Structure 1
Amino acid sequence: MKNKMIIYQVFTRLFGNDKTACIPHGNKTENGCGHFADFTQKALTEIQKLGATHIWYTGVIAHATQTDYTSYGIPSDHPAIVKGKAGSPYAIKDYYDVDPDLATKPEKRMKEFQNLIYRTHDAGLKVIIDFVPNHVARQYQSASRPEGVKDLGEEDDQNLSFSPQNNFYYIPGHPFQPGFDLQGSAPVPYEECPAKATGNDNFSPSPGRNDWYETIKLNYGIDYCNGRGRHFDPIPSTWFKMRDILLFWAGKGIDGFRCDMAEMVPVEFWEWAIPQIKCHYPSLVFIAEVYNPNEYRNYIYKGGFDYLYDKVGLYDTLRGVVCGYASARQITGCWQSVDDIKDRMLNFLENHDEQRLASDFFAGNAEKGRPALLVSACMGRNPMMIYFGQELGERGMDAEGFSGKDGRTTIFDYWHVDTIRRWRNKGKFDTDKLTAQELALQAFYTQVLRLCNRERALREGDFYDLMYANNGSDLFNADKCYAFVRRKDKDLLIVLANFEDSEKHTAVNLPHHLFEFFQIQEKGEIIATELLSGDKEYITFNANQCVLTDIPAYSGKILKIKL
């Protein structure tokens, strides 16, 4: 039996921080920091109980920080090119090391990470970590690379703006001079000459404040300044180095990589690298952060990725429906646009890049996300991901420091996550510090996510969209309700999601084609079990009469029929 993948993404540094009062822009001593050790067997069991099959530990690989770890042999980073006191986990400073913030004993940080992998597997969960292939920190320097491994940029000819065998891109004769006050209160100016191209494809020496100015772009053999010429023969130096980094982490016993901004790296690299990794680790999963639908099939069929983000399709549409500026009818177009690859799309409603669903910048109320969860988690066999605290209604409305009050949980600052801190309750997980509303939301998420693998029709069944047969009537508001069917063998589920703020008495048409498609017989009145409540309902199961039922506000129903 193949499980439906349910990923629990957690920002590792924040999960175990019990500090109750944090200071904006506070350092590690002032604000505290979570560690690998906070993911105890109890903590991991609680995450597994939510329905998770995988946990994505975000921010594991060592990145630039303003915290001083020089006493552990780790080079310091200039504060002017570190975003926030803690730093961005996507400004990698050493591909061969774990972040020392995450260790209770920094000198044993890799051993502590290995122990976390063992504990995670013992809890029945699989481990995913980030692989950041497109860019590194401006002062990248691997102090932990294996003997004989050449560092990135070590053999570059910095007199050339581009060479296929350089690891970075250069702007010869020009120092790094951002178009804003970079230095701030730094005691010594940051110097870089020649300037290197910035991670978000800025090939000037003067990136702006909104650029990824703390990073430098890796060179995979594309000459961006001369018509994007592709120079892949002989194989560029960066390809070998990044392949070896993937093999290094795969050898630690992880189960998958979430590949940051994978579409900014040429698909030819992935086509070359992923089969080599899977030759040694055939069950390893590769997830790509890709936002261009025109490239989806390229990165699956040529690049070799197992799964891609479904951001600009389903996520953006569900956000619009939840917020009231899009119709539930538009959800149909989401699956139609990826119908041939729908099992390869990763669904989500939150992640570290997006605003929290309950924030003032999104829905303003976590309850509004319930119907969206039903749709996102239940409409396919493909993976579903939630972001830690989402199941508790975390609002992300703190002004933490570098990350302002933007509806996101900071990835740059030392901070705590209020709902997670109270749920953990110093590692006891007794829920005494959670409100009744938070507990009810957590119970709903747990119920839906666990149903995804408990019910065969959700785990591996076929999908049938009912919207074309329910274009709108007095008893079916097609702008605010979405209906579909999942079926496996003798189990058939009618899933209904209500995005309105009031309970709706609803009539759902089951078209003749549904019965033909699944080759099942129409019947009269039958008994259905509503899986979210456990209640029994009498419904008609034919194309001549509607299914009549009441759907709760901001929620839904899953009616199970035994054929």
Structure 2
Amino acid sequence: MDNLKEEKQTNSKKVVYQVFTRLFGNTKTTNKPWGTIEENGVGKFVDFTDKALHEIKDLGVTHIWYTGVPHHALVNDYTQYGISNDDPEVVKGRAGSPYAVKDYYNVNPDLAVDPAHRLDEFKQLVERTHKAGLKVIIDIVPNHVARKYKSISAPNGVEGFGVLDDTSVTYKKDNNFYYNPNEAFKLPEWKDGYLPLGGEKNALIDGKFDENPAKWTGNGARASQPDQNDWYETVKVNYGISSGGQKDFDTLPNNFDEADYKLHYEFWQDKEVLDSWKKFKDIALYWLDVGVDGFRYDMAEMVPVEFWSYMNSAIKTKNPDAFLMAEVYNPDLYRAYIRIGKMDYLYDKVDMYDSIKHIMKGYGWTDHIPVVRNKFEDIELHMLYFLENHDEQRIASPQFVGKAETAKPAMTVLTTIGTSPIMIYFGQEVGEPGAEDAGFGKPSRTSIFDYIGVPHHQRWMNNGKFDGGQLSKDEKALRDFYKRLLNIAIHNEAIMGESREIHYYNKEHTNNYNHRVFSFVRYTANEKLIVVSNFDEETSYEFALKIPKEIIREWKLNKENYILTDLLYGDKNNLSLRNDEGTIKIRINPLQSFIFEVL
């Protein structure tokens, strides 16, 4: 525990800015459903100019997660560059899912000014990002690949996935995929009015896709004809688990949840590991050589934790500072994927995100926040918080809360309460509602499958000036709030110090304190912060906030009065001590937060 405290106090807060790379620089506002790249436009690597990156850094960001970089299946003709066309019937949308990767050794040609030099253009982006003082994260999706995976860019001697598979059997230890021998793949039966490309005529849309024998689908569906709701555009990667569930790989000793990555790396050196394991490890090390600083792993819990021990220990051996975050949605698996799988950070979706969303929507109580925190107290450093990402509804969409400002107290709490990273999704800081009917993608989420513009973000981008010149007054104010908050997080040492909730104490001892309010303290020996947030959209509250005696003693406060300054907007207040208990007279408006520093 002492080591954990030391780590909290010496490391600075990490702030991840997820950006959907193809959408960021797109200035076209046509937004035609199922629109082509010419009609709806697409952003490029070069759109992340020095100015753009400077503004992102100044927002209070430390890491950029460039989503959709590896070359994935899409409906566009790049055959002049040696790239095969993809069948629209196994591509979601027109621009394609970033999680149906087709070539792990190159990048999406849509993102390059000159597709022949697309990897060089990405390397230049990495250099610009580093020059701006930011770290680079990209996706790796070990659980599945595109149905038509074919790397034309792999280094000499590197075989593509499935090239050497024995397709006469369902499962074989070193096969990369699972098969249904003697059965051909059949396209899903399209339902609910769905048609590929929205029904547009295309030479490749003929009701069939050549895959014989059929492979298992990415989400684990085994039928040769997957359902429309399956991940039909992808195939499941075999990690050495037979169709009956038997593991064909070594397992770690029982005490290895306490071992560091160096011991994990040593463990695997004399072990026979599977071909798929080696392939993905080599892919990760390749991208580290390109200059990438870390990875976001899609659906990590669908891949055995032993693989992650092998993969991540190899990454950490090459770069001990690599940033590794992952989707794991089963809380019972969190500790295994952190301690055995050597993940740095996991999404706190099921507990914290879902709880905060309920509070924002008006039917959850702030009382539940400490419950979630206490549940993961031993791993809180590893639980990444967020309110938006590409999978979740936009805050400003009617399907979430319909008002971007409603996120202010939630963002204040999530950003300042823990030592783990906070993540925001591009456009969140200007209230993007994700209202477009993009084709495959539907309103409430900014589509990751279609060529589309992001209107609020485009107003901030202001035709490449990146100065917010077209934003409304309210949108500017919202971005200013995010900028103030995130910079407090990365520049104030107390944010990585101790955290104590005072919410329950005030519920018991303070008149007019309400379950729509939440309060806690953050502190180190040098800095003391008191955070108070009002989640209510309509009601102001007045009360005398209490700071318990044990905190006053720990802070070694002994004067009758201390000046408080709100770090967000500079408001002044007063902390009064009486009988060793602190009192602050608070009037807090709807959706308002204070981050008081004790002076």
Report the counterpart of residue 540 of structure 1 in structure 2.
576
Query: What is the rounded CA distance, in whole Å, between the counterparts of 2:13 and 2:582 in structure 1?
Result: 34
Report the counterpart of residue 380 of structure 1 in structure 2.
418
Report the counterpart of residue 79 of structure 1 in structure 2.
88
8 Å Cα contact 1:327-1:478 kept in structure 2? no
Q: How far does residue 475 in structure 1 lie from its aligned partner after superposition?
A: 4.1
Report the counterpart of residue 265 of structure 2 in structure 1.
none
Report the counterpart of residue 524 of structure 1 in structure 2.
560
1:205-244 pair list within 5 angstroms: 205-223=224-242, 225-226=243-244, 228-232=245-249, 234-244=272-282
Q: Secondary structure at the match of 1:56?
A: strand
Q: How far does residue 489 in structure 1 lie from its aligned partner after superposition?
A: 1.1
Q: Deviations over 1:360-404 (max 9, x none)?
A: 010110011000000000001210100000000000111111012
8 Å Cα contact 1:329-1:478 kept in structure 2? no
Q: How far does residue 249 in structure 1 lie from its aligned partner after superposition?
A: 0.6
Q: Taking structure 1 as reference, are residues 276 and 474 closer, same or farther at Cα in structure 2, changes over 3 Å only? A: closer
1:129-278 pair list within 5 angstroms: 129-181=138-190, 186-188=204-206, 189-223=208-242, 225-226=243-244, 228-232=245-249, 234-278=272-316
1:417 and 2:454 are equivalent in the alignment: yes
Q: Secondary structure at the match of 2:54?
A: helix
Query: What is the rounded CA distance, in whole Å, between the counterparts of 1:41 and 1:385 in structure 2?
Result: 22
TM-score by length of 2: 0.91
Structure 2 counterpart of 1:535, one-letter code: D
Query: What is the rounded CA distance, in whole Å, between the counterparts of 2:403 and 2:374 in structure 1?
Result: 29
Query: What is the rounded CA distance, in whole Å, between the counterparts of 1:347 and 1:301 in structure 2?
Result: 19
Pick which of 130-139 and 463-472 moved more: 463-472
Query: What is the rounded CA distance, in whole Å, between the counterparts of 1:519 and 1:394 in structure 2?
Result: 41
Structure 2 counterpart of 1:525, one-letter code: N
TM-score by length of 1: 0.96
Q: How far does residue 472 in structure 1 lie from its aligned partner after superposition?
A: 5.7
Report the counterpart of residue 328 of structure 2 in structure 1.
290
1:486 and 2:505 are equivalent in the alignment: no
Q: Secondary structure at the match of 2:92?
A: coil
Query: What is the rounded CA distance, in whole Å, between the counterparts of 1:338 and 1:489 in structure 2?
Result: 25
Q: How far does residue 519 in structure 1 lie from its aligned partner after superposition?
A: 5.1
Q: Secondary structure at the match of 1:140?
A: coil
Report the counterpart of residue 259 of structure 2 in structure 1.
none
Over the matched positions of the two proteins, sequence identity in percent amounts to: 46
1:395 and 2:433 are equivalent in the alignment: yes
Q: Taking structure 1 as reference, are residues 541 and 202 closer, same or farther at Cα in structure 2, changes over 3 Å only? A: farther
Q: Taking structure 1 as reference, are residues 193 and 470 closer, same or farther at Cα in structure 2, changes over 3 Å only? A: same
Q: Deviations over 1:430-455 (max 9, x none)?
A: 32210000000000000000001221
1:32 and 2:41 are equivalent in the alignment: yes
8 Å Cα contact 1:541-1:547 kept in structure 2? no
Query: What is the rounded CA distance, in whole Å, between the counterparts of 1:339 and 1:474 in structure 2?
Result: 26
Structure 1 counterpart of 2:41, one-letter code: G
Structure 1 counterpart of 2:247, one-letter code: R
8 Å Cα contact 2:30-2:39 kept in structure 1? no
8 Å Cα contact 1:491-1:560 kept in structure 2? yes
Pick which of 495-504 and 534-543 moved more: 534-543
Structure 2 counterpart of 1:285, one-letter code: F
Query: What is the rounded CA distance, in whole Å, between the counterparts of 2:392 and 2:163 in structure 1?
Result: 36
Q: How far does residue 473 in structure 1 lie from its aligned partner after superposition?
A: 7.2
Q: Secondary structure at the match of 1:128?
A: strand
Query: What is the rounded CA distance, in whole Å, between the counterparts of 1:258 and 1:103 in structure 2?
Result: 22
8 Å Cα contact 2:390-2:446 kept in structure 1? yes
Query: What is the rounded CA distance, in whole Å, between the counterparts of 1:210 and 1:474 in structure 2?
Result: 51
Q: How far does residue 468 in structure 1 lie from its aligned partner after superposition?
A: 2.1
Query: What is the rounded CA distance, in whole Å, between the counterparts of 1:285 and 1:277 in structure 2?
Result: 10
Q: How far does residue 477 in structure 1 lie from its aligned partner after superposition?
A: 3.9
Q: Which residue of 472, 490, 498 maps to 1:462?
A: 498
Q: How far does residue 429 in structure 1 lie from its aligned partner after superposition?
A: 2.1
Query: What is the rounded CA distance, in whole Å, between the counterparts of 1:287 and 1:412 in structure 2?
Result: 23
1:21 and 2:30 are equivalent in the alignment: yes
Query: What is the rounded CA distance, in whole Å, between the counterparts of 1:28 and 1:336 in structure 2?
Result: 48
Report the counterpart of residue 92 of structure 1 in structure 2.
101
Q: Deviations over 1:235-255 (max 9, x none)?
A: 211011111111111111111
Q: How far does residue 32 in structure 1 lie from its aligned partner after superposition?
A: 0.7
Q: Which residue of 359, 362, 368 maps to 1:330?
A: 368
Query: What is the rounded CA distance, in whole Å, between the counterparts of 1:476 and 1:399 in structure 2?
Result: 44
Q: Taking structure 1 as reference, are residues 445 and 452 closer, same or farther at Cα in structure 2, changes over 3 Å only? A: same
8 Å Cα contact 1:328-1:478 kept in structure 2? no
What's the C-alpha RMSD, in Å, of the aligned pairs?
1.5
8 Å Cα contact 2:186-2:209 kept in structure 1? no
Structure 1 counterpart of 2:60, one-letter code: G
Structure 2 counterpart of 1:552, one-letter code: N
Structure 1 counterpart of 2:233, one-letter code: E
Report the counterpart of residue 102 of structure 1 in structure 2.
111
Q: Deviations over 1:50-86 (max 9, x none)?
A: 0001111000000000111111111111110000010
8 Å Cα contact 2:88-2:205 kept in structure 1? no
Query: What is the rounded CA distance, in whole Å, between the counterparts of 2:100 and 2:338 in structure 1?
Result: 26
Q: Which residue of 549, 560, 566 maps to 1:512?
A: 549
1:428 and 2:437 are equivalent in the alignment: no
Report the counterpart of residue 320 of structure 1 in structure 2.
358
8 Å Cα contact 2:513-2:541 kept in structure 1? no
Q: Deviations over 1:111-154 (max 9, x none)?
A: 00000000001111110111111100111111111111111101
8 Å Cα contact 1:360-1:397 kept in structure 2? no
Q: How far does residue 191 in structure 1 lie from its aligned partner after superposition?
A: 2.4
Q: Please list every run of 5 or more consecutive structure 2 residues that lacks an aligned counterpart in the other structure.
A: 1-9, 251-271
Q: Which residue of 324, 348, 356 maps to 2:386?
A: 348
